[in-house]
Amino acid sequence: MNQTQLVAPAPHGPPTAQLRPLTAGAPPADVVPRRTDDFLIRRAVVEDHCRLSAMLDGLSELSLYFRFQTAVGRPPRASVIEPMLRSSGESWVAEHDNHLIAHAMWAWAHGALDTPTAELAAIVADPYQSRGLGMRLLNLAGAHARAAGAQQLLLVVSTANDRTLRLIRRRWPTAPAERDGALINFLIPTDTPPQASAQPWASATTSSTSAPWSATN
C-alpha cells in the first residue's frame, strides 16, 4: 500500500501544541528491530540513504507516482531521499534479505490546521505490496505520532489510488475528506477507533489490542 507525498518537514514540533509526555503503554523513544512475516522493521537512519535510493529506483512508475505525485528521477534525487530520513517526526524501514523493501514516516503538517496534525506516508516495493506490510508501518507511525502529541492524522491519497481509498473508507467510514485537485485529504482524529469489520486493515495491525493507533515494539 502506498500513501502520497508529505509536506516539507518543519525543524520543530507541533505548530499549535506542546509535546505531551509518553503515557503508560506508549511507544518508547526508540524502536527495537523486530521480525514480522520475515520482514525486519526498524527505525530509519541516515546511513540508509543509498539503500533507500536503490529501493525507489526499482519501483514502478505507478508506485512512485502514488507516493510522490511528481517525478523523482532515476536514481532518485537527494532532495527526495533526505526528507524521508530527516523528517520532523520519525521514519522506519522494512528489510528482507538485506534489502530495503518499504519505508514509512510521519511529519508535522503545517499550514491552516489549528489542531496538531501528523501526516503519514508509506511506500512498499512492488513485489511486497498487498501483504499488509504498509499498514503495519503506518500503524507504527500513527502510534508514535499520537504519542508525540498529534491529535489528528493526515492521509493524502491520489484520486487514482482506488485500493488505498477503499481501505481508508472501509476502516474510517466517517473520516472527513477534502478533494484538492488530483488528491484527497483525509483527517482522522487519533482517538477515532477503526471500523472493526475492516478485515484487510485489521490483519495488518502491529498490535493485538483494539485501541486506535497502538503498536508494540
pLDDT at 36: 52
Decide if 147 contacts 118 (C-beta within 8 A). Answer: no
Give the integer Cα–Cα distance in Å for 202 and 210: 9
pLDDT at 194: 63
Q: How confident is the model at residue 35 (pLDDT cuts 50, 70, 90)?
A: low
Q: Are strands 177-180 and 152-158 parallel, antiparallel or unpaired?
A: unpaired
CA dihedral 197, 200, 203, 205 (to 10 degrees): -90
Is this prediction's pTM over 0.75?
Answer: no
Give the integer Cα–Cα distance in Å for 215 and 3: 19
pLDDT at 190: 86
